[in-house]
Amino acid sequence: MVVLRESVFQKKFNFIDWYELDPEVVEVCNKHLGDIGKKATEKNSVKCVWGDAFESIKAVNEDTYDHIFVDLNDDQFCIDLAAKNMDSLVRILKPKGVITAQVGSQDKKPLQVENWLNVFNHHFGNTNLSRVYIPSFDCSWNFSSSINH
């Protein structure tokens, strides 16, 4: 939800498709962040797709998205889930499109970050790791981005 909020408020994207899997996240967002969602939808800049994101994207045309943000946990289950579905993400990403994922903290879980980077390098052959300090997490957090060639 934070990625969606920042994308809407920063106005860096003209249109956003938001795929959400977790019904609890949807419920919390509707309850506590409803005004953000309503405002975005009213401006016709966000389309919310509720349900299994990896199932939903099977119906998306090839080369649809300029940028994909993957916002899964940094545990091995989620890394494996992303790896299993990466071909589908590559399929819907435009040539020269960018895929970005929050990959956890090198400070706290360096193996998880390395495993995420391996997934990106395997599918794209390139990855750029960025780092930002998040005070509420009391550590730096890492994001991996790759360009679709």
CATH number for position 84: 3.40.50.150
| Whole-structure pTM value | 0.81
Task: Please return the burial class of 8, using the count of CB atoms within 10 Å of its CB with bins 0-12, 13-18 and 19+.
Answer: buried
Pairing of strands 16-20, 46-50: parallel
110 in the same domain as 37:
no
38 in the same domain as 96:
no
Please state the domain count of the chain: 2
Cβ atoms of 20 and 50 within 8 Å: the answer is yes
The 10s digit of each residue's pLDDT in 84-135 is 999 999 999 999 999 999 899 998 999 999 999 999 999 999 999 999 888 8
104 in the same domain as 78:
yes
The 10s digit of each residue's pLDDT in 6-25 is 666 665 677 778 787 666 76
